[in-house]
Structure formats: structure tokens, C-alpha cells
């Protein structure tokens, strides 16, 4: 997970698929986490993916894929990294709850004012 955090802040650094805690597709027949689903690299603010698993796509999703073009993962970008986002949110809420202004992933989290 540390590699994923570092990569998120560093343009051009790739977080390997192994750093992906799991994709989750809640609308699919199998909504369980799919670890190592996709890698990620930030390229001047744009998410670049070179390794990705097979995402479940219903009829409407396939139409959207056709319209926006192959390789555009915008409709599933949150699902692809769902478990990492969930872990990050849990860590941030815990830091906020402590009220100590603790850092999460090297960034300052929310601070509580008394």
C-alpha cells in the first residue's frame, strides 16, 4: 500500500497491479474484491493504466465503452481501485477521529479545531 501512496503523489511512477488491494464491481454478479486488478501511473494529472483485468460490462456499459473509446477507463476508475480508496478513507477517518492532525500517506489529513 505504501507503494500505491507514493505513486499517487509522484507523476510518472507506476504502482504495480500487486499494490492494488482490489477492484470491486458492485453491479456485477460477483462483487467480491479482485486483488491486483490494475496498475496505475499518474502522467501530468492523467491516470495511465497498462495492465488491467477483465471488467464486468453489461449492455449499457459496452455501449458507453464503444462511444468513449477503448482504453478510456473513466467509467470504472473508482471501481478499479475501490479497496485502496476504502483503506485510505478508513485511515483518514481514524486520523480525524484522533484529532491529532495526523498525516495519512505523507499528506496532512483533516484537522480538528477545538
In a domain, 100, yes or no: yes
In a domain, 42, yes or no: yes
pTM above 0.85, yes or no: no
Instruction: Render pLDDT for 52-111 as a digit per residue (tens, 0 to 9).
Output: 999 998 888 889 889 998 788 888 999 999 999 999 999 999 998 887 655 555 554 444
Helix (H) or strand (E) holding 63: helix 59-68
Q: What is the CB neighbour count within 10 angstroms for residue 75?
A: 13
In a domain, 54, yes or no: yes
In a domain, 56, yes or no: yes
**Number of separate domains in the chain:** 1
CA dihedral in degrees (78, 33, 26, 5; nearest 10)? -20
In a domain, 110, yes or no: no
Domain coverage including residue 92? 2-105
Instruction: Render pLDDT for 8-52 as a digit per residue (tens, 0 to 9).
Output: 555 678 999 999 999 999 989 999 999 999 999 999 888 899 999
Amino acid at each position: 500500500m505504501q507503494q500505491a501512496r507514493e505513486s499517487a503523489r509522484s507523476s510518472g511512477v507506476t504502482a504495480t497491479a500487486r499494490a492494488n488491494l482490489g477492484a470491486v464491481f458492485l453491479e456485477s454478479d460477483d462483487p467480491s474484491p479482485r486483488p491486483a486488478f490494475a496498475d496505475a501511473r499518474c502522467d501530468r494529472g492523467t491516470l495511465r493504466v497498462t495492465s488491467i483485468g477483465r471488467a464486468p460490462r453489461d449492455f449499457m456499459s459496452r455501449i458507453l465503452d464503444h462511444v468513449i473509446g477503448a482504453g478510456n477507463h473513466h467509467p470504472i476508475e473508482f471501481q478499479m481501485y475501490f479497496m485502496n480508496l476504502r483503506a485510505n478513507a478508513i485511515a483518514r477517518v481514524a486520523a480525524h477521529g484522533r484529532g491529532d492532525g495526523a498525516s495519512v500517506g505523507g499528506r496532512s489529513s483533516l484537522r480538528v479545531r477545538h
